[in-house]
Structures are given as structure tokens and as C-alpha cells.
Chains A and B, each alone.
Chain A
Amino acid sequence: MKKILNTILLSALLTALPFGAMAQNNGGDFFANIGKIYVVVGVLLILFITIIIFLVVLERRLARLEAQQDYLEEEQ
């Protein structure tokens, strides 16, 4: 798990490096690069992560119903 995380962080860093050269006066704030476009990326990520969490909740409820359905069918 830690290895995967490190790989992700490293690849994110490597993709970000060329943009670092384009960085304006941002005081080392990655989000402030290229006209603060990464703030928009972050906002979209929050949006879709929340929707994915919602989908996971739906899936878990469905799974519980499926298990209950199996139990009901067995009883009959």
C-alpha cells in the first residue's frame, strides 16, 4: 500500500515538474501555478469523489438487499 502511494506521489510530482518552471510568484504554493488552475482541478476532484462515495453507499445498500433476498428465497 505504501509502495503504491509512493509511486503515485512520485508520478504526480514528475508531471508537475515541467509546470513548476512556469510557476509565477506563488510563494511555493503548487495550487497557485498557472493562474490557479489547480484549484479548479481540486474542486472537480472533490465533486467527483463525493459522488463516488455516494455510489459506494448505494452499492452497499443494494448488496444488503440482495443478501436479504437470497435469505427470503431460501425460506420459501
Chain B
Amino acid sequence: MNNILKVIGAILVLYSIAAGMLVPLNTGVYQVEQLKVKAGQEARIDVEAYNSDYTDATAIQSRIRLDSNVAICAERVVVNDAQSLTLFFDIPTGKLPLAKAKDGEKMPFPLLEIEDKGKGIAVLESAVYIEQVVGAAPAADDFCEVVAYTPNPNISYPYLNILQETIRNLYYHVPMWFGMLLILFTSVIYSILQLRKPEQIQYDIRANSLAVVGLMYGLIGIATGALWAKHTWGAYWSFDVKQNTTAVALLIYLAYFVLRSSFDDTDKRARISAIYNIFAFATLIPLLYVVPRMVDSLHPGATGNPGFNTYDLDSTMRAIFYPAVIGWILMGFWFADILTRIEKIKYKQLDQL
């Protein structure tokens, strides 16, 4: 393996760790007190924010969005401390033009927005429950004009409830799966080469080393995923379809090493394990990339759209995520390269004995 690739891999991994840990989260609404407000009355909402730096009440604008273009603006904002606000709203009486939930879509309204001028915006979906009263629709001047907010000027990651800081795990958990797939695919290519040229035992050695590293990435992925799941989904193992199928896929690859160790004859081992490797990879693809998409899963992007959408992954995160993927792939090939060289020496020594 080319030394330049190793340097690039190491730099990208270090960059993803440094940038992944150093960039702060955007301001977010951590908690609201007063979940139920009544139409026709003044509503007082106490807000606990995350990563906020509230100082000047006049710079803070807050609104409850009822629909994409209708909002009630806060009539008064009180700054309790840097992370705590009290908002006062005059909720108009009568039938409010609240957005209706569409089938199968998440209903974000009433959406609470707190904009701190020049410091970004904090958003909480389905923030409050508005108890409505029967009556004529309120006048237009009860609502305020919805202005486009100025985006956060500082570089930051999105704040999502439940996920919070663990959104950074995207750079340390997901690249493992991307890396595993590519490394195992390369392993299959060497297995095919081995079958075409049985006298070249080095192909078998390479296929084995790549499978070792691929399995290691898979184990890292499943262990980090379990820890992440514990603190976001509530359990280390919630028998999510993707968790189950990856566990099966990893067991199939474990059997590859059991199979290898059961042969004494090098040629026989090379041939049979190459065939097994091809079949193992052929089952890996449906287990990891087809079955999880056919049923409901806790994983993002399940059922239907498999990739990240704009909501899951913003441009700041992409700028760290893709380098992380490339970095860990290159590191994986480096690991496999070292293992291959050690194994080659072993075969040479076996010839001498």
C-alpha cells in the first residue's frame, strides 16, 4: 500500500475526531414547562435551552408557529439566565388556523422558535398543546408576520432532542459500516482471484487479512451502536431489524475463520475458504442493505429512503462525515496490509521448515 494513502487516511481520521468533537452543537430547546396553553389567555412558557447564551431580552424573538406561514409572537421575553427564558404569549381566542397532520408525516406544529439575533435559532417541534375554544377565527392582527430567520452564523451541528451531543457518533459509528462493506468487498475480489489462480497463495492471505479487518470494523460498529442505542433508544439491544441482521452477518463471517482454521492443507484451505467468502458476502448484502429496508426500523432512513435526508445530515456534518468514511477505509486497508505482510512471512517460514 502506498505510503501517501496511509498518511491521508491518518490525517482524515484525526481531522474527523478533532472536528467532530470540537464543533459545538447549535442552540436547542432542552425542555419547556407549561405544555398546555389555552386560547384567549396569556400563556407563560418556561424554557430551558441547551448551549445558549441568552443575555439581551430585546435581541430575542420567539414565536409559536401554527403553520408554515402563521405564527403567534411572544409579547414579552424574560431572560432568567444564559440557559433559561420565560416567554409570554397572548393566545388569540377562537378557532386557530393550526396545521393539520398529514398521513404518515411528522407533525411539527405547534412549533416553538426562539431566535437570538446573531446567535442562531432554537426550535422545538410539537412544543405546546393549545386548548382551543369554539368561535370565529381570530383577526389577522392577532398573528405576527413570519420572517425568514437568519441562520446561525457560527459553525455548529444541529441540536436534535434525544440525540443531543451523541449526534457526533455519526463520525465514529457509521464509517465503520461503510468501511466494513468496502473492505469485505475487496476481500471477495481477492477470493475470486485466488480461485482463478490457485497457485498464487498470496491472494488467499490478502482475502483473509481483509476479512479480519472487516470483521473488526463490524464488531466496533455493533458495540458502538449498542452503547449509542442504550442512551437514545433506551436499550443496548432492542431487537431492531438492522441490529439483528448485522449480528447474523457477523456470525456468518466468524464461521469463515472457523472454516479456515479447520484445514491443514494450504491449497485446500485457500480454495474452500475463497468459495465460502463469496457466499458470505452474497448474504451480507441482503442482510445489511435489503431486509432492513423492508420493515420498520429504529435506524434513520429505514423503510423507503435508505440514505440520510437533509434533516438528518446537514452540510456541516457532511464535511466531517465523508472524510471520516474515507479515512477509516484507508486505515482499514493499512491494518489489513500489515496483517498480510506478517502472514506472508509465516508462509515463507513454513516452506523452510
B342 near A39: Cβ-Cβ < 8 Å: no
Write the A39-74 contact mask toward B (1 if CB under 8 angstroms, else 0): 110111011001100100010011001001100100
Q: Give the size category of B's interface with A.
A: 35 or more
B67 interface hit (Cβ, 8 Å): no
Rounded to whole Å, the gap between the CB of B40 and the closest CB of chain A is: 32
**Distance A65 CA – B345 CA, assembled complex (angstroms):** 8
**Beta-carbon nearest neighbor of A72 in chain B:** B352
Please name all residues of chain B whose beta carbon is closer than 8 Å to the beta carbon of A54 when the two chains form the complex.
213, 216, 335
User: Which chain B residue has the least Cβ–Cβ distance from A69?
Assistant: B349
Q: Is B220 an interface residue (CB 8 A)?
A: yes
Q: How far is the CB of A19 from chain B (nearest CB, A)?
A: 13
| B281 contacts the other chain (CB 8 A) | no
Bound complex: CA of A65 vs CA of B342, how far in Å?
A: 8
* Residues of chain A within 8 A of B224, CB atoms compared: 43, 46-47
Contact check, A35 vs B172: say whether CB atoms are below 8 A apart. no
B232: A residues at CB distance < 8 A: 36, 39
Task: Kindly identify which residue among A43, A58, A62 contacts B173, using a CB–CB cutoff of 8 Å.
Answer: A43
- Bits for B28-58, please: 1 = Cβ < 8 Å to A, else 0: 0011000000000000000010110000000
Beyond A47-B220, A65-B345, is A35–B50 a contact (Cβ under 8 Å)? yes
Hey, which bits of chain A sit against chain B, CB under 8 A? 24-25, 29, 31-32, 34-37, 39-40, 42-44, 46-47, 50-51, 54, 58, 61-62, 65, 68-69, 72
Top 6 nearest A-B pairs (CB, nearest first) are: A35-B165, A35-B164, A37-B165, A43-B224, A39-B166, A39-B231
